[in-house]
């Protein structure tokens, strides 16, 4: 498992000039979607009034001789609706405006690819090239999901919220996958307790005064 800090992702996304890929990488990082979930998204999955995205399907390549197929979610809890950051919403609006310039545009077009979805190899090549341009370490596309989990955990998100956000079926799955990240949070809690204890330990003068009063 690898993951990026927010600073590393900021460097990565700063070199991406193509709006389609920019939106794709942002939704992978900020929303923690599985690659197949992101590739399967249609425009009718975006609610621009409430600024949310609905995840209710996946996409798989080369199944039974077909280029791609739309699949049901990995688990029941993979069905979820997530809030979108304002910056990403603005980018998605611009991307939709570009898609709507096609006379045959439909709401069930893929967000990332229009009539047909972006190819898996194309996404991977783009990611690899951006890493080189940004001079940051290479991670897998699936590691964007781990990076999202790290972002949530390191900013104090509750374990239940993280599990729901990622579409995990059980909290145990989240704990088992990201136990090392929560361990760091536990260490922070202990450091906080130590700080509080140090601030409340009576000084020597207070101890002497107490003994005298007895």
SS3 (DSSP) at 58? strand
Kindly report, residue by residue over 144-181, the tens digit of the pLDDT: 999 998 888 888 888 888 888 988 878 877 877 777 67
SS3 (DSSP) at 202? coil
Q: Yes or no: say if 3 and 146 are a contact pair by the CB < 8 Å rule.
A: yes
Return d(Cα 212, Cα 148) in angstroms, integer. Answer: 58
Q: What is the mean pLDDT of residues 22-38?
A: 96
Total tally of structural domains belonging to the chain: 1
- Report yes or no on 170 lying in a domain: no
pLDDT for 134 = 98
Q: Yes or no: say if 141 and 124 are a contact pair by the CB < 8 Å rule.
A: yes
Give strand pairing partners of 80.
55
**Residue 69's domain is classified under what CATH number?**
1.10.443.10
Q: Which structural domain range is residue 25 located in?
A: 6-159
- Report yes or no on 194 lying in a domain: no
The C-alpha angle 139, 142, 147, rounded to 5 degrees, equals 70
Return d(Cα 74, Cα 157) in angstroms, integer. Answer: 23
pLDDT for 65 = 66
- Report yes or no on 204 lying in a domain: no
pTM > 0.95 = no
Kindly report, residue by residue over 51-87, the tens digit of the pLDDT: 999 999 999 887 766 789 999 887 788 899 999 999 9
pLDDT for 75 = 78
Name, in order, each residue with C-beta under 8 angstroms of 177's C-beta and a sequence gap of 6 or more. Answer: 1, 149
């Amino acid at each position: 498992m690898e993951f990026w800090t927010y600073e590393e992702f900021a460097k990565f996304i700063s070199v991406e000039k193509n709006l389609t890929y920019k939106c794709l990488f942002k939704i992978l990082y900020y929303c923690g979607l599985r690659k197949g979930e992101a590739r399967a998204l249609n425009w009718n999955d975006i609610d621009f009034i409430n600024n949310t995205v609905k995840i209710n399907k996946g996409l798989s390549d080369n199944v039974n001789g077909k280029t791609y197929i739309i699949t049901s979610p990995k688990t029941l809890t993979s069905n979820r609706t997530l809030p979108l950051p304002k910056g990403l919403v603005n980018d998605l609006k611009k991307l939709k405006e570009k898609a709507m310039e096609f006379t045959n545009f439909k709401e069930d077009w893929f967000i990332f690819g229009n009539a047909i979805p972006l190819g898996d190899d194309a996404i991977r090549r783009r990611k690899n090239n951006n890493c080189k341009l940004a001079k940051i370490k290479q991670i897998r596309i699936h590691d964007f999901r781990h990076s999202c989990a790290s972002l949530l955990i390191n900013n104090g998100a509750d374990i239940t919220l993280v599990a729901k956000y990622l579409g995990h079926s059980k909290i145990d799955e989240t704990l088992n996958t990201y136990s090392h990240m929560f361990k760091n949070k536990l260490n922070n809690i202990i450091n906080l307790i130590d700080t509080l204890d140090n601030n409340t330990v009576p000084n020597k003068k207070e101890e002497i005064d107490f003994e005298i009063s007895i």
